[in-house]
Amino acid sequence: MSRRPALLATAALALVGALLPSGTTAVADPSEPAIAERAGLRYVAMGDSYSAASGVLPLDPAAPAQCLRSLRNYPHVLAEAVGARLTDVSCGAADTGDYRGSQHPDVAPQLDALGRRTRLVTMTIGGNDSSVFINSILQCGAAGVTTAGQGSPCKDQYGDSFTDTIRQTTFPAIRRALRDVHRRAPKAEVAILGYPWIMPERVGCYPLMPVARGDVPYLRTIQRTLNNAVKRAAKATGSTYVNLNRASDGHDACQLPGTRWVEPVLAGTNPVVVHPNALGEEQMARRTMKVLGLPGTITPSPLP
């Protein structure tokens, strides 16, 4: 992803925020206690704006301003529920390159937060790589406006280009990032979440999501390809994949408030559009706890 200092804010104003997109659990070391039994769990949260919950208030006062990190993101929800010691370095607009390099002058590489005492790592990452998902939503939204929501102008113009980029570029980038995490935190359970559905399977909600009717399944296919790349990278690195495909089905940006996990471009509640709301982040925490077998109770927060 090219270095664009105001990427997240610019994308939000241009109809999209920075990002979009069966659990396979790594084998535990028998010499270590089960993750659910570890007291004072040292937990590092990494990743992009879906981890940071960009646009959900209140903001984390300890976070760099550019990251738009929320105190209601799924890492904070999870850490509070299980009593973990959280270090949260998630940051809006991050891609896998920001694990090894500084995303902003005052933002350290995310890998720097890890160490041999780290026992749990979670993340969403990959959606910003090569700007593929940003561009797919942005371009399809712009194309949908030109046809007043009819036809499939985005698919007609871009074809397989987005999915090809995910398979050829994004997948190996995620795999490398996960390998780097395991090297820095060799005793940690490493979990990577898929992205909750942004669009329904077939029928959209133009103009709330300005995507042409025929491009709704096209965008769904692109996101399915991204989530599959995340799943394959997890399997290749002995990481845990938290599958949100089934859990988030029916909770896309076209659903009513209180049901949707992701906010639409128009008439939404978040200043950063096409991102999870507080309910979505809470449900991402619940799913992660279930996949990892973490005990704890999540107290539902007030909406939005």
Q: pLDDT tens across 4-13, in order?
A: 333 333 333 3
**What pLDDT is recorded for position 133?**
86
The answer to whether residue 22 is catalytic is no
Q: With contact defined as beta carbons under 8 Å apart, do 19 and 96 qualify?
A: no
**What pLDDT is recorded for position 18?**
35
The DSSP letter of residue 175 is H
What's the pLDDT tens digit per position in 129-145? 999 888 999 999 999 99
Q: In 3D, which of 165, 124, 168 has the Cα closest to residue 21?
A: 124
Is the link from the previous residue into 304 a cis peptide, with omega within 30 of 0? yes
How far is residue 200's CA from residue 203's CA, in Å, rounded to a whole number? 6
Partners of residue 87 on adjacent β-strands: 44
Burial, 105: exposed, middle or buried (Cβ in 10 Å; 0-12, 13-18, 19+)? exposed
Q: Please give the single-letter amino acid code of residue 195.
A: Y
**What pLDDT is recorded for position 250?**
98
The answer to whether residue 182 is catalytic is no
Candidate list 54, 131, 136, 275, residue with the active-site label: 275
Q: Could you tell me the end-to-end alpha-carbon distance of the chain, in angstroms, rounded to an integer?
A: 31
How far is residue 92's CA from residue 52's CA, in Å, rounded to a whole number? 6
Domains of the chain are: 7-292 (3.40.50.1110)
How far is residue 107's CA from residue 102's CA, in Å, rounded to a whole number? 6
Candidate list 49, 54, 152, 248, residue with the active-site label: 49
In degrees and rounded to multiples of 5, residue 166 shows phi and psi of: -60, -45
Q: Report residues of the chain scoring pLDDT below 70.
A: 1-39, 303-304
Q: In 3D, which of 65, 74, 85 has the Cα closest to residue 301?
A: 74
**What pLDDT is recorded for position 21?**
36
Q: In 3D, which of 129, 151, 124 has the Cα closest to residue 7?
A: 129
**What pLDDT is recorded for position 300?**
85
**What pLDDT is recorded for position 299?**
86
**What pLDDT is recorded for position 42?**
98
**What pLDDT is recorded for position 4?**
35
**What pLDDT is recorded for position 183?**
98
